[in-house]
Amino acid sequence: MDQVPDYEHVNTCLCDGIRYGVVLAEDRLQLRVGPDSPGQLCPEGLNKEYLFADILSVKIIVSEVEEPSSASSVLSRLDFFPFRNASPSPRQNTTNQSKIVLCIARRREPCKWRPHSLILTTENLAFGQQLCDSLKETIAGSSNRPKRLMFFVNPVSGGGCALKIFEKRVIPILRMVDTRFSYIVTTHAGHAKQWLLQEPWKAEGYDGLIAVGGDGIFNECLEGFIRSEQDEDVTVTSDLTPSATATLGIIPAGSTDSIGYCIGLGDACSALIHVLLGRSMKLDVGAVFQEASGCLLRFFCAFLGYGFFSDTLKTSEKRWLRRYFGKTRYTLAGAQTFFRNKSYDGHVTYKTGDANPCNSSSDLDPEYPDVGVFCAKDCTVCSVTDITSPEVPQSPNSPSSPDVFESTESPMLSSIEADTVELVGTSDTEVTTSSEDWNNISDKFSNVIAVSLCCGSAKSPRGLAPASHCGDGRLDVLLVRAIGRVKLLNYLVSISRGIGPKRVLGKNLRAYRVSELIFRTTKKPKENEGGGREASMAVASTVWNCDGEIITEADIHVKVYRQLITIFGSGREF
């Protein structure tokens, strides 16, 4: 237990009318009730502590205060007749005092933080200045806090509210804490990406790149940042390494704000506090490549979908819907897609790879992805540094575990020699397992979903894959077989109600945790008994929904890069 300081040798100050002794501990500011304060009868309840890591800014204000005259009477004739024979009153004695104004981040509820002002008053000017300088030096010495910020504001995000949120909630706090910042209001799609690719931010010393808006503007910043860090074009064989030149961030001001929700940013003010305090975490990044050529198509860090969600996005982008219906077009497009209820032939090859020890097959519950170790602040799964365990996470529905060998290459679908394995309960699905840690599935799918986050939001607290993690180096892949409208409606409603997909879809859902994924609309050519080869026949296909952006290439190769970027956030709080 901390010892009570000797108040004869400790400087004191007033706070909320109570005199405290001020102690600068190793990592916090301590205010201890003094023996001459009114609270001496219950000092334990009045003592206060503030972590240096929670202090946003410190200022000092020196002012003159009039001292009351003890010789003056309580009432005089001038109190009743102020205009009769009034003579100038003698000048009151004045004294100087210092006010140290601290702006401190305070947690109101899970994922909700607000700035709080704390004023310490002292008559000892030298002590006040010394205290202010010490606190400023401690804050400035933190290597995690950004020194200069660049904001990219998407004025159309959130129905046009993003710019208002930035002006009314973000800028006042930035000015209050004296943070150096600049901002750009984007004028067209790709504006933020183009600016980052020109690399002026490196020369000007920006160490925080913040997107203000929805997930779309953040992905623009993500694309521009990662591409600007590479010396050559990124292909499927590229080995990307994490960069420490800058930290990305997001001020949630969009319609869903899934990324901000998954990393513990409850609102715009909470997100800004995380930025100013330098609270950051590592985040996986997925990359989508063209399957045939291996060329990079797009990066993503949340959602990749094929089927219902991509059809909805494709329909909503029609010009007449955008022109006349605005945000309502998503509802109309979703209804149209629902009644069409299309499904698509697909051939999926996935690689389990070297598993995270905390994601081994023994940890995947039979009800995965509904249950499991949920990603949260200080997540034990994401914090594991050694991911070379030979255990492989796989679907609980799989009848046997494939043998695992260490592989240094990423074979294309056509190069994988596989044998057919009978799948109990899904006779229409062809599942194959290769000689390496690759597996194949062929079926008609209503939805193919790959997520690197749980993709939750305020409207869908559990998200699409509740047990997904932000930094485990894995994609959670959900394969939904062709289903009827009633089952599809139940699935869509369950997402908004926080009900896991496994509970609703049952055997129509197969879930995997993978490191790579290959999707083709046509099956690879197969050897005939006569020695010839069957020609691949063209089949119906659709586009991909990649974090709200359309990818027209249907055949893709997806890889995930573990903890490729650093982002301002701390994880969800429960």
Residue 136, SS3 per DSSP: helix
Judge if 255 and 122 occupy the same domain: no
Q: Let me know if residue 535 belongs to a domain.
A: yes
Judge if 290 and 432 occupy the same domain: yes
Q: How crowded is residue 310: how many other Cβ atoms within 10 Å of its Cβ?
A: 24
| Residue stretches of the chain with pLDDT short of 70 | 1-10, 34-45, 65-94, 353-365, 385-436, 523-539
* Residue 522: both structure tokens together: 């046509």
Q: Let me know if residue 269 belongs to a domain.
A: yes
Would you give the end-to-end CA distance of the chain in angstroms? 29
CATH code at 480? Answer: 2.60.200.40
Q: Which amino acid is at 483?
A: I
Q: Let me know if residue 48 belongs to a domain.
A: yes
The predicted pLDDT at position 323 comes to 72
Residue identified by tokens 């901390």 is 2
Rounded Cα distance, 254 and 56, in Å: 26
Distances (CA, A) of 242 to 153, 215, 352, 498, 569: 25, 21, 22, 33, 17
Q: Let me know if residue 299 belongs to a domain.
A: yes
pLDDT, tens digit, 9 for 90 and up, residues 97-150: 889 999 999 999 999 999 999 999 998 889 999 999 999 999 988 888 999 999
Distances (CA, A) of 377 to 146, 264, 281: 21, 8, 9
CATH code at 18? Answer: 2.30.29.30
Torsion angle, alpha carbons of 126, 128, 131, 137, to 10: -90
Rounded Cα distance, 309 and 297, in Å: 19
Rounded Cα distance, 359 and 382, in Å: 10
Q: Is 378 exposed, middle or buried (CB count within 10 Å of its CB: 0-12, 13-18, 19+)? A: exposed
The predicted pLDDT at position 545 comes to 93
Judge if 56 and 202 occupy the same domain: no
Close Cβ partners of 187 (under 8 Å, ≥ 6 residues apart): none
Judge if 420 and 556 occupy the same domain: yes
Q: How crowded is residue 444: how many other Cβ atoms within 10 Å of its Cβ?
A: 13
* Residue 551: both structure tokens together: 């990818």
> Are the CB atoms for 222 and 209 separated by under 8 Å?
no
Beta strands in 259-369 (DSSP E): 280-290, 296-300, 303-307, 344-351
Judge if 408 and 516 occupy the same domain: yes
Q: Let me know if residue 570 belongs to a domain.
A: no
Residue 121, SS3 per DSSP: strand
Residue identified by tokens 């003056």 is 72
Write out the H or E segment, with its range, that includes residue 202: helix 200-203
Residue identified by tokens 């409603």 is 493
Domain boundary among 140, 158, 178: 140
CATH code at 245? Answer: 3.40.50.10330
What's the number of domains the chain is made of? 3
The predicted pLDDT at position 371 comes to 82
The predicted pLDDT at position 109 comes to 92
Phi, psi of 21 (to 5 degrees): -90, 135
Q: What is the extent of the structural domain holding 515?
A: 286-306+342-561
The predicted pLDDT at position 79 comes to 52
Q: How crowded is residue 295: how many other Cβ atoms within 10 Å of its Cβ?
A: 14
The predicted pLDDT at position 131 comes to 92
Judge if 447 and 483 occupy the same domain: yes
Judge if 176 and 293 occupy the same domain: no
Domain boundary among 82, 110, 140: 140
Rounded Cα distance, 394 and 21, in Å: 59
Beta strands in 243-313 (DSSP E): 247-252, 280-290, 296-300, 303-307
Question: How many residues appear in the chain?
Answer: 574
Judge if 101 and 241 occupy the same domain: no
Q: Let me know if residue 573 belongs to a domain.
A: no
The predicted pLDDT at position 241 comes to 85
Any idea what DSSP says for residue 220? Answer: H
Rounded Cα distance, 25 and 31, in Å: 10
pLDDT, tens digit, 9 for 90 and up, residues 471-509: 999 999 999 999 999 999 999 999 888 888 888 999 999
Please give the distance of CA 154 from its chain centroid, rounded to a whole number.
Answer: 18
Write out the H or E segment, with its range, that includes residue 96: strand 94-109
> Are the CB atoms for 489 and 341 separated by under 8 Å?
no
Q: Let me know if residue 70 belongs to a domain.
A: no
Judge if 264 and 294 occupy the same domain: no
Query: Where does residue 104 fall: left (phi above 0), alpha (psi -120 to 50 degrees), or beta otherwise?
Result: beta
> Are the CB atoms for 13 and 32 separated by under 8 Å?
no
* Residue 366: both structure tokens together: 């039979």
Judge if 208 and 257 occupy the same domain: yes
Rounded Cα distance, 180 and 209, in Å: 13
**Full-model pTM:** 0.81
Q: Let me know if residue 88 belongs to a domain.
A: no
* Residue 230: both structure tokens together: 């590479």
Judge if 274 and 374 occupy the same domain: no
Judge if 271 and 160 occupy the same domain: yes
> b or e along 529-555 (b: 16 or more beta carbons within 10 Å of the residue's beta carbon)?
eeeeeeeeeeeebbbbbbbbbebebbb
The predicted pLDDT at position 96 comes to 77
